Structure formats: C-alpha cells, structure tokens
Structure 1
Amino acid sequence: MRTPILRAAASVIAFAAASGMALAQDVAREDTVIFDLDRTIQDPENFNWFTDNSGVKRISGAHQTMWEPLFILNYGTGELEPWLATGAESNDEFTEWTLTLREGVTWSDGEAFNADDVVYTVGVALENDELSAREAAALRGQVASVEKVDDLTVRFTLNAPNPRFVVENFGVRIANSFLIMPEHVWAGEDPATFTFFPPIGTGPYEYSSGATNRMIWDKRDSWWGADTGFMDMPEPARVIFLESGGEESRAQLMVSNQLDAAQNVTIGTFEAIQAQNPNVIAWYDDYPFAAADPCARQLEINTTIAPWDNANMRKAVAHIIDRSQIVNIAYEGTTEASQTMFAQYGSMDPFINAVVDAGYGLPARSDVEAGQALIEAEGWTRDGDYYTKDGETLSVNIHVNSASTEYTRTIDVIVEQLQRAGIDARAVPVENGVFWGEVLPFGAYEMSYSWLSCGSVNEPWASMGRYTVKDVVPVGERSPGFNNTARWDGAAAEAYSAIVDEISGRALGDEAVPGLVAEAYQHLDAEMPFIPLVQAAKLLPMNTTYWTGWPTADNYYNSPFFWWGHTHQIIHNLEKAQ
C-alpha cells in the first residue's frame, strides 16, 4: 500500500512541470538549487520592496540572490559579519553612526555601488511616509538625517541614542534588513508606484524569469565579490524559488529530488520523506531535528484581571506547567523547553547563563505541589475537581490563535495540566485576525498563547524592552507595538524597567550587561507577567542528493532559514554532491 506522499506523486510532478521547472532545460538539474516558497507571488513583475509589507517581493529570491545586505548577523557567535559594508562606528552617545562601505562593489549593470546609493535610499524612506515596508518605517522612526562623507562613508544622525542601530536596521537580525537600491535607476521615479522591473542588484545572480508560483535566478558571468577577492563565485548556476503547494506536495518534491530545501513540515512528514529519500537531512541528525525560531513561545497573562493580578497566582501556574510534556505531545519532540524568555542561540548564551546561574531559569518539569501550595496560601481550597474561594471556582480562559495546530495543541496540553491541578481552564480559539487585531493588543484576555518576547537574537534589550512600564496602557487601549500587553505595572515592574533602561544605553558586548540582565530578571521571576514555554521549532528538510554544505547544528555558519536575507551565506556554502 502506498503512503499518502507517494499517492500524490503524479499530481505533484505535473505541478512541478507547470511551475516552470520544465522551462529550465538549459541548466542541468545538478547545477540548479531549488528552494521551497510557501506563498503565491501576487505581482511577479514588481520588485519595489518599499511597498510590500508582506516581504514576498524579497523572499522569492530577491534578497537571497540579487540584493545583498550591508552586514549579516551570525546567530551562533553574535558577530555582525561585514558584507557590502566593512565597518560601523558610533560616537560615545550612540547618537551618530558612521558606516564604511566595501570598495569595489558594483551593480549588475556595471555602475558603482557607493555612498550615493545609501544616502538616496535612506532618503526615500525618510521622505515618504506612505511607504509601508516595516524596515522603512523603522528607519524613519530612528534617523534624523543621513549624509555622504565620501564615496565609501555614510554618516547617520539619530533621533535618540541607539547602540543597536546597525544590527537592527542593516544586519539581517530577523529575516530582513533595510535594502539599498541603485540611485541611477530609481532617481526621478515615484517610490510609491515604481515597479523596479526588471530589477538589478549587486549579488551574483540576476533575474531570469518569474510567475506567480516561481522565480528563477541565474548566475552572472562576473560578480564584484569574486573580482575583488571577497568571496568565490557560488557553485549553483541557477537558483529557483518554487511554490510547493503545501506540506504533502513539498514532501513529494523532496522525495523525488525536485526540491533541495523545504519549508516547515511535521515530524511525521519528515520521517516519511527520510524513509524514502535518505539523502534528506535536518538541522539535527536526531530529535529534536528542528532549528529554533527567534520567537520563543510563551503564555501571556493579563496582570489586571483577578485572580491573575496576584503574582503568586501567576507563579503557581508557572510551577504547574510541564514544559517537557508540551515538547513531547504538542511538538512530538521537535523542540526543547525554554529556560528563559530568550531564543536559545549561541549568541544569547551569556545572558541565558546569567539568568540560570542566578537561579531564575525555569525547569522543564513541573512542580505541581509547589504551585498548589501557592494557590492555597492565597485562600483557595480544593473542592472536588477545582479550587474554590468565597463560592467562586478558580478558572481561566486561555485565548489561542486557531490558525495553527501548533498553537491549539499546545494550549490543549496546558489546559489539561491546569485542570488536573485544580484550575478550571478552558481554551478559547479565535481566528487569526481577531487574535492579533483585538485580543492581544487591547488586553482582551486572561491568558493567551503567543510569542511577544520575540526580538532578542544577539542581545537582551530587544526582548526585555517589550515589558517596561512606559508601554503600559489601560485595558481597551491598543498596546504600542504589542509591547507589555500584560499591562505589568507596579514597584517590581518599575525596578525592572529602570535596569532595562540602563541596558538599553550600553554598547553591544558590554561585559556588565549579563549581570544587569540577571538583576532585572529577578523581577520577572518574582512576578511572572508571562510564562516562557518552549522554543519555536522549524523542521526544514534539506536534500543532499545534488548539494551539500547545508547549515546544520554541526555546520553552524548561520541559521537554516533560507527565506531570510542571509541566504547568500547558504548558497555560497553549497557544493556539488560527489
């Protein structure tokens, strides 16, 4: 009897041909690397990234092959590795940053890439409020002015001190970075309507063809990086980003070697792929297989609603939750329990270790008795299945986004754990738009499942700064940037905020920061305005039939997220299989 994956073979192979793979006969399969695309390209002849808040104009190959970043953040080491730029320096107050560009960089049409391009592109973002891309809006909020010092030097003056300015905006910190466009092509165009087609970039690949379900990029005859000795030309002659059509079809494309790197799949699908194609690997050779996503999962708690306005009651829930059970049941072993609020990357180790060494790390296993003791100390008495107090049953509704089984399965596990411990917990599934548009930002929940600590991948402030008292607004008002939707306030929150404010002004790599993180974390541990759960998991199959050199835990030159702007590193590391 054939598996569901094999039963889909005929239709998927036909889909692959219709998607343009059959059009690539002039480049051999063994010279082509094919990446999975998880969405439709709505406008394949429009490469104006300023007007695309979804990022699809970039992730279909543009910022992985054609447009290059100034720097690339290494998730393993925390180092900001130079690419189109070679360095960045600030003044003592972090209000002025000077970037040095690499000499010899050229656009694919032969024009020089220089400070004029940077100043022009930043100016476009600063002067046009209607440009919706997140990176443009972020830069617009931070930069007061930008000026050319010389052809290879650019100076930024900021609205406020920011020691993280370069990595936040130009370092591919999470997924994307602010991309520089060629002034000689864009000048005189309306940036709100310009389609930038056909596009050009500084990268080693150029646009070949596109459709709503695929983009094809071909290697150029020459590239500045090879010409200057910065880096050899990459080996793949062609790069294709192909919309796979969902998990079952992407699985078959992997089995039949028509896909080299796939988007996230379940553990069952991955094991089925590997059983039929042993050349397919993942980040880890064995469990948990998956790589950690930057947005670790957690349980949000509205600290204004009784009885969860009581820190001891929130800590009780933290004791009752068994993270290892969430890993084993909801994630089928493909992730690991969170020790802190942070994503567990090598670059975050100094801060995670400081918190754990100070005694504020969370255990993977539960301590239900300790949790129940805290509940009982607050006057609740177990009466049958649940705790009661003054005739009221201890209960909680937990809102969860119904868009993913990952989310609902996790909350199902937590609900069962709380029920067994004596809390009448119920899951409240809501559709994606309501969850993000109404529930979270307006504090319309008692507890909810999300990842609002997301941000820190190489330093702690990006996540910790999301819970300071400056962002507290009343329930019913929108929390700014989804920050502190818990409405955490009071003496402990103020003490925490003061320490986090001190962290915000310190340089990256400041030796005092890990100790400050632990000092601030004591207040999170004492008050639990949110409860870290598990690391987010991306199980990404990678095929070694034609190409080796994929990023893995044992070959950790960077993360395996091939839809991100650091994919240049992945492509440059690929070598033909022997």
Structure 2
Amino acid sequence: MSEQPYVEQPHTEQLDNPVELSMSRRQVLQLMLLTGGSLALGNVLAACSDSSSQKQQSQSLSPTPRNQTVIIDQSPQFAVFDSFNPFIPNGQEYETGFGQICKEFLFYFNMVSGEIKPWLATGWKYNSNHTQLTLSLNPKVHWNDGTAFTSKDVVFTIQMLLGNTALIGSSNYTPYVQKVSAPDDHTVVFDLKSSNPRFHYNFICGIVGSQEIVPEHIWSKQNPMSFKGSPPVWTGPYKIDRTIPSQFMYVWKKDPNYWNKDELDPKPEYVVYRTAPSVDSEVEQFKRAQVDVPAFDYQHAVALKSSYSNIIIETKFRDPCPRAIGINSDPSKGLLADPRMHWAISYLIDRKTLGSTVWFVPTPPAQYPWADYPANDKWSDPAVASKYPLTYDPQKAKDLLDQMGARADSSGKRSYKGQPLQYEIMTTAKVGDPEYINGQKLADGLNSVGVGATIRFYESSVWTNKLNNGQFDITTWWLCGNVFDPGQLYTGFETSRTKPINQDASTGGNVLRSQYKDLSDLAVKLDNADPSASENKQLFSQALDAYYREMPLIPLYQTTYPTIFNNSYWTNWPTDDNLYQVPSNWWGQFLFVIGSIKPTGKA
C-alpha cells in the first residue's frame, strides 16, 4: 500500500470563520420574511456590490496553482479527514470529492437526458424470470494503485455485506441474494431468492451514488468495521493529495495513470473541496475568482450578477424529489384515512403561488409524483392525469368535508362524529424555511374551512421517529420514490410493508400507513414487472390512477435548486442552455462535469 496522504497545516490564509454559515439560503429567506426584504436584501447587496474586486488578482486559496485548480465549496462542515470507509457511520465524507472524482460506479444515470452510461461495467442481463442477474465488467478498469479491477472485487464486496449486517448497505442484499459468484474475471452472477427485475438498480448511480465496490486485495486483509481505507484506493481520475483539517479542505490531484483517459481526461490538475467560509467572505472570494463553485444562496447570486459578469446561475435542474404533504393514512386516524380527506387537503393548496413565491427560485407546480425530467415522460399518462387536476379550490374542499359528515357548526368549526377536527402538521423546517411555509399555508387553509390545524417544528431525529412510528397527523415531506421508475414509489404504499401505529414501519417503507387495496395490489404486481417491457405500460398507468384516487402523499411543486458557477478560470459548466449533466457537485455524476469543463487560459 502507498504512503498515507499528507495532512498539513495551512500555507495559505485561514478561512474566515469556517464554521459560521450565518447567511445560508434558509436564513436569508427567514430574514427577508421578518424584515419585509429590506434587511436581508441590503446585506446581500452590500456584500455583492463592489464591481472593482472583479479586477483583483486571484490568489489561490489552496496550496496549488489557481489556474490548474477547481475550487468547490460545500455548506456542511467537514469533520472526517483520515477515513474513506463508506460502510460504517462517520467513516467517510462523501461530499468532499471522494464520492465524485475518486470513487466510480458501475453505471451512471443522467437524470437530465435519461441516459444510463456504462462505466466500471458494460452491461447487465437477467434470466427469463428475473431470478438471476449477470453483470459484465469493463476489462479496461484498474484501481489507482495499478491492480486490475475484476469480478473478485465485486464478489468480495457483496459477500462482505452479506456476512456483516452491521455494515451500511447490507440490507440491500441480505433479503434478496442467494449467492454471488464470478465465473470469470469480468462476469458476476447474482442468484436471487425471488424474482427481482430492479435488482440492477443497486449498481446505478442515481441520486448521489450507488453501491461502492472496494478492492479485494486491500480490504480482505482488514476489519471493515474499523478500517479507514486511507489513502483511498479507488478507480476515479483523481487521487488524494492532502487534507488540511484546519481549513476544512480536501485536495485531489489528477492521476496520470487513470484507466479511462481515452473517454474522460479532465483538464484540471487539481480539484479542491472545502467547507465554505462565512457567506460574506465567500462572496468576496468569488468576486476575486478564488472560488469556482460556491455554496452561497440564490439571493446572493442574483445580487452579485449585476456587478460581476463571470457568474453563471443555472436554474433548470430539478431535484428528483418534488415537495409534498404526507398524510398518516392508518385506519385508526379517522377522516385522515379517507382519500376524500386527502383531496380536500389537496384543494386547499395553492401550488402555483407556493412555487412562485415561497421556494428559493420560482418553480412549477407538480402534477405527477415525480420530477418533470423529459426522461420521466414515459411514465406520465396525460389521460389519467387529466382526470385528477391538482387545482386550488377551497369550495371543493368544503364540499368533500360536508360529504364525509364533517359539517361546520354555527361558528364555522367542523367536527366529525361529535369530535372537533384538530390536526398537527409536523416539519423539520424552521420558521421561514420554504417547507415550514408550505405547512403554515396548509394550516391556514384548513383553519379557513373550519378544520383546526397547527404547524410544529421538530428536530430531524424526533421527526423521523414520529414518522416511522406513525405518531403524527400530517407532515411536510417530499416525493423521492421514483428514481428509475414509479414502481419504486408505489412499493412504499403496499399494505404488507407497514406496521400498526407505535411500531417502526421504516424497514418496509410504508410509513404513511397507506392501506388501500387497489393501490397496494397494483404495486405488488409492479414489483415483479419488468419496467422496460412495453407490455407493462398499461400496468403503470393503472397504478398512477390508483395513486391519484388515494393520494396519501400529495405533490406540491417541483424542487429546483439553483447551481452557481464562476467561469473566470473554467468554462463549459452546465447552464440553462446546455444542461448536459446533473450539476450538483455532491452527486457522483459531477465526475462528468469535471471531465467536461475547459480552462479559459487565465493566468
């Protein structure tokens, strides 16, 4: 094994208050709400108004030549600098470049185009009943220590997970894999316990990442529960050069012996990921062209654009998870279990207004329970959707409440079976966050039609526990089920996958306690249906229809996260006009952005 990576003290200026993220996009929005926009916007403009700094010399923030380096900021504070083990808690910092340009995956899914790109593997195939999956590996691949990447590495990794349920990722295999074998150096065969036409999804980098494969020649000699894997031996085009904990910085250096230079030959010699400094400091560094991909928010970017010409603001990429409202649909919840109540709630949501005024950047309403990627059009069925328009219509909400027997008294308050209606909407978002506002607007809407409702913030761990155990009424949430096909979403509504209230339902996934026979039965059928087979298209449309009828998870609007780039030193970033790849710098797909950018020639 090679020597340990260099962990150094800084040779450059210290970051200004690296743990101070005092003006995140969340807090800017909160300030603007509290001050009518004047205070926050004034601070933003003050931080972004000095056009003369665009001409200032760009001193590198890292111990590398600026014109050979891409510098990427992240909001989370990095805490792990000497461990690269993805299988244990706190074993890695994946968003430091480790998961983007050092690791690689067997396949990559470009959500923009819908293309699945073979990488460490060249393809997959199933037997006729989807009980056996064969993966074909790319014979060109080698690890960054020169050792060949073979089927032994894949088999070792999966057997390691099968043999140790304490490892992160084990649950993706123990219920499903009977045996994994390697008939030759570039073929892996999975014998499955039952039909599973989606098992190959484990190996496609979809949201952020996918199954990591580790080198058998190194990991077989270690205890995976404690091994740090440092320096990291993976297959990507960059190797660790050093970490600088005092500056919350990872420095990656291009590997001259990278296995796939014929197809991906990145131009930056170095890539630096670091925890962002305070927003004001980061804005100044961006104006000096010291940062290529900042972490500051959309409000600062817009304010900066008027005085700094080298900024790119990409606003077209959707997060795969539309914002949503989740309903506890357990039969014991009374009206909340009635799909008519779900629709009454839906009619109280003004999606267009929420998307245009509440979210960080204007974003369209969601009609389907998935992101509006062109690649998802094949799952959409306009004929079905037209039967269930997600419109804002409080009168229809009142009519449905009356229909269910929840009539208003002389004061306008509604009750059901002699009990006043009162619900809590829980959220992990703090006051001023868009998702808090989503919940507050819904509470206002419910109160306006005589249904008592309040919103309450819970810390993430408390919220998760309440969600998993069914100890809630309504929650702000998101729709993340459909990564590759909607069958993944509908599985979470299967009756067999839930538990009674006060029991943890997270393992099965049906935490909303949805127990609607038609939706559940269709979801079970889709579990065993090949999503790529044209004959199953009608089954997907039937499931969409059943989803709309019951709608325990209500779509609100598309989730648009702006991405900001500086083209002073590097160009060909993803833009609204050329969104060629996922632009999110913490996703595995960012590998192809780094591989696509070009130097401007700036000294």
Q: Deviations over 1:232-256 (max 9, x none)?
A: 4111111000100455554444333
**What pairs with 1:235-246 in structure 2 (closer than 5 Å)?**
235-245=267-277
Name the CA distance, whole Å, in 2 between partners of 1:250 and 1:391: 58
CA spacing shift, 1:470–1:5, aligned 2, 3 Å: same
Is the Cα–Cα contact under 8 Å of residues 330 and 413 in structure 1 kept in the other structure?
A: no
Does the residue aligned with 2:595 lie in a helix, a strand or coil? helix
Which one of the candidate residues 155, 164, 180 is aligned to 1:119?
A: 155
- Could you tell me how far apart the structure 2 residues matched to 1:359 and 1:308 are? 25
1:409 corresponds to 2:443: no
**What is the match of residue 85 of structure 1?**
121
Q: Which residue of 2 aligns with 1:395?
A: 422
Task: Pick the aligned partner of 1:311 from 324, 329, 339.
Answer: 339
Match for residue 299 of structure 2 among 268, 278, 283: 268
8 Å contact 1:41–1:56 — kept in the other structure?
no
In the other structure, the counterpart of 2:460 is 432
User: Per the alignment, do residues 190 and 485 of structure 1 end up closer, same or farther by CA in structure 2, a change over 3 Å counting?
Assistant: closer
Matches within 5 A, 1:440-459: 440-451=467-478, 453-459=479-485
Q: 1:409 to 1:358 in 2, by over 3 A?
A: closer
Q: Distance in 2 between matches of 1:332 and 1:211?
A: 32
CA pair 467-232 structure 1, distance change in 2 beyond 3 A: closer
Question: How far 1:46 sits from its partner (Å)?
Answer: 1.1
Does structure 1 retain, via aligned residues, the 8 Å contact 2:120–2:141?
yes
In the alignment, structure 1 segments of 5+ residues that lack a partner are: 10-19, 284-288
User: 3-state DSSP class of the match of 2:334?
Assistant: coil
Taking the TM superposition and a 5 Å limit, the aligned residue runs for 1:505-524 are 505-524=528-547
The aligned residue for residue 182 of structure 2 is 148
Structure 1 segment 506-545 matched on structure 2, within 5 A: 506-545=529-568
Residue matched to 1:569: 592
Partners of 1:354 and 1:517 within 8 A in 2: no
- Once the two structures are superposed, the pairs formed by residues 240-255 of structure 1 within 5 Å of their partners are 240-245=272-277, 247-255=279-287
Whole-Å Cα distance in 1 between the matches of residues 361 and 561 of structure 2?
A: 12
CA distances 1:131-151 after superposition (whole Å, capped 9, x unpaired): 2x2x34323443222111111
Tell whether the 8 Å contact from 1:360 to 1:521 is kept in structure 2 after alignment.
Answer: no
What do residues 112-161 of structure 1 show as CA deviations (whole Å, max 9, x unaligned)? 11112222222222222222x2x343234432221111111111122332
Paired position in structure 1 for 2:570: 547
The unaligned stretches of length 5 or more in structure 2 are 1-38, 49-58
Cα distance in 1, alignment partners of residues 422 and 45 from structure 2: 47
For the 8 Å contact 2:469–2:504, the answer to whether it is kept is: yes
Matches within 5 A, 1:253-332: 253-263=285-295, 265=297, 267-283=298-314, 289=315, 291-303=317-329, 304=331, 305-331=333-359
Alpha-carbon distance in structure 2 between the residues aligned to 1:22 and 1:531 = 45
User: Residue 200 of structure 2 aligns with which residue?
Assistant: 166
d(CA) in 2 for partners of 1:247, 1:513: 50
1:381 maps to what in 2?
408
AA aligned opposite 1:89: K
CA offset at residue 397 of structure 1?
Answer: 1.8
Corresponding residue for 2:35?
none
Mapped contact 1:207–1:216 kept (Cα < 8 A): yes
State how far apart, in whole Å, the 2-side matches of 1:22 and 1:314 are: 52
> How much has 1:382 moved relative to structure 2?
5.9
1:440 alignment partner, SS class: helix
Partner of 1:41: 78
CA shift at 1:42, angstroms?
Answer: 2.3
Residue aligned with 1:105, SS: coil
Contact 1:355/1:518 (8 A) holds in 2: no
Whole-angstrom distance in 2 between the partners of 1:390 and 1:114: 65
Q: 1:183 to 1:240 in 2, by over 3 A?
A: same
| 2:119 is the counterpart of 1:94 | no
1:468 aligns with 2:491: no
The question of 1:191 aligning with 2:224 is answered yes
Q: Does 1:105 align with 2:141?
A: yes
Which secondary structure does the structure 2 equivalent of 1:503 belong to? helix
Structure 1 window deviating more from structure 2 (139-148 vs 79-88): it is 139-148
Deviations 1:372-422 (A, max 9, x none): 111222331363454456765443221111457122122122222333333
Could you tell me which residue of structure 1 aligns to residue 525 of structure 2? 502
State percent identity of aligned pairs.
27
Map of 1:488 onto structure 2: 514
8 Å CA contact retained: 2:505, 2:511: yes
Q: SS of the counterpart of 1:397?
A: strand
| Distance in 2 between residues matched to 1:468 and 1:355, nearest whole Å | 25
Residue type at the aligned position of 1:463: L
From 400, 422, 431, the counterpart of 2:450: 422
Q: CA contact under 8 A between 2:84 and 2:91: conserved in structure 1?
A: no
CA distance in 2, matches of 1:320, 1:194: 52
Equivalent in 220, 225, 240 of residue 255 of structure 2: 220
CA distance in 2, matches of 1:115, 1:105: 11
Q: Aligned equivalents of 1:349 and 1:144: distance in 2?
A: 35
- 1:75 pairs with 2:111: yes
Aligned mates of 1:78, 1:143 — CA distance in 2: 28
Q: Is the 8 A contact 2:360 2:434 kept in 1?
A: no
> 3-state SS of the aligned residue for 2:152?
helix
Superposed CA RMSD: 2.6
1:136 & 1:481 partners in 2: Cα distance?
Answer: 13
Does the 8 Å CA contact 1:173/1:457 hold for their aligned counterparts? Answer: yes
Measured against aligned partners, the alpha-carbon deviations of 1:317-360 in whole angstroms (never above 9, x if no partner) come to 11121111211232154322111222222221111x21654534
Find the partner of 1:137 among 171, 177, 184: 171
Q: TM-score, normalised by structure 1?
A: 0.88
CA shift in 2, pair 1:93/1:461, >3 Å? same
Map residues 9-28 of structure 1 onto 2, 5 A cutoff.
22-25=61-64, 27=65
Counterpart-to-counterpart distance in 2, 1:347 and 1:55? 34
